[in-house]
């Protein structure tokens, strides 16, 4: 299967959260296609180190790997990223709004952490969309806006409500973005929601020193993402070594059933419904 036309030599990818994990893997992947890559992250030193490694491993001689330090929660800094990208390359063909963070929260405490998570995970993506979309449409060429969400933003498991809220917002914003893009005359830009499974990223490494058997590597997520985009998929819900795509579908449909059948909130984690969920099958 041929790659999406945005993934071609000489085209430009802008990636936030590019110093580690999925963002770094995407930068490595896109560089391997001969694309110019603008890697953006809040961690300047780490970003410069990994960018140098990508440069040293390049197969194509002419593609550039450049870096830019920013905090995506600040709109002005994201606008500066957009200006830098167009001043440097004159175009942006792939925008990957990937920067994200996590902190432990509960429903009525850690208010500052709530605010921080929503500012980075949700507002960071909204800022990217607002800064880049008009200019990408105006190029009149195939383009991609990829926003990184989470399964926690779909099924809302207990344990970190602020993170779940931020990622649920990413899902809603990206769905609305794709609807708007496909109803914009002469628009060749499409939006896609990347939903990784259990992935061994920098966030995971805070808690475990070695990759758990159940986790995918970031490059597996990126390869799955590229194949899904090549097939024209909007929802890119990645499996992992523990959870299959079929099990993801089962969990998502059960969660939707809480609303449709007026079950208790988050019934999957309510002992009253344990047997019902265990026996729930998806055709």
Quote the pLDDT of residue 1: 83
Quote the pLDDT of residue 282: 92
- Give the start-to-end residue ranges of the domains of the chain: 12-243, 244-283
Quote the pLDDT of residue 251: 98
- Pick the catalytic residue from 163, 200, 235, 261: 163
Residues 6+ apart with CB under 8 A from 141: 5, 91, 93, 188
Q: 12-243: what fold?
A: Rossmann fold (3.40.50)
Q: Which parts of the chain sit beneath pLDDT 70?
A: 203-204, 206-207
Q: What is the strand order of the sheet 235-237 is part of?
A: 65-69, 36-41, 12-16, 94-97, 143-148, 189-195, 235-237
Q: What is the pLDDT of residues 73-99, one digit of tens each?
A: 999 999 999 999 999 999 999 999 999
Quote the pLDDT of residue 93: 98
Quote the pLDDT of residue 192: 99
Does the annotation count 198 as an active-site position? no
Quote the pLDDT of residue 208: 75
Quote the pLDDT of residue 39: 98
């Amino acid at each position: 299967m041929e790659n999406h036309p945005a993934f071609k030599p000489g085209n430009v990818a802008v990636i936030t959260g590019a110093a580690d994990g999925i963002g770094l893997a995407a930068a490595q992947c896109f560089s391997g296609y001969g694309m110019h890559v603008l890697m953006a992250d809040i961690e300047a030193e780490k970003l410069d180190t990994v960018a140098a490694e990508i440069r040293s491993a390049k197969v194509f001689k002419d593609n550039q790997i450049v870096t830019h330090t920013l905090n995506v929660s600040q709109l002005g800094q994201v606008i500066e990223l957009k200006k830098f990208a167009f001043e440097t390359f004159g175009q942006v063909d792939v925008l990957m709004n990937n920067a994200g963070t996590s902190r432990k929260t509960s429903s009525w405490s850690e208010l500052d952490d709530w605010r921080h998570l929503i500012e980075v995970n949700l507002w960071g993506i909204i800022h990217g969309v607002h800064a880049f979309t008009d200019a990408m449409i105006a190029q009149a060429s195939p383009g991609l806006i990829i926003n990184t969400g989470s399964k926690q933003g779909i099924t809302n498991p207990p344990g970190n409500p602020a993170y779940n809220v931020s990622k649920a917002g990413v899902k809603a914003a990206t769905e609305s973005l794709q609807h708007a893009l496909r109803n914009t005359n002469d628009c060749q830009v499409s939006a896609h929601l990347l939903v990784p499974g259990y992935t061994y990223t920098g966030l995971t490494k805070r808690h475990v020193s070695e990759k758990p058997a159940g986790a995918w590597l970031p490059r597996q997520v990126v390869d799955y993402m590229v194949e899904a985009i090549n097939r024209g998929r909007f929802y890119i819900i990645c499996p992992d070594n523990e959870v299959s795509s079929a099990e993801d579908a089962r969990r998502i449909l059960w969660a939707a059933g809480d609303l449709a059948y007026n079950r208790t909130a988050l019934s999957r984690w309510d002992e009253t419904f344990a047997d019902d969920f265990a026996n729930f099958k998806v055709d």
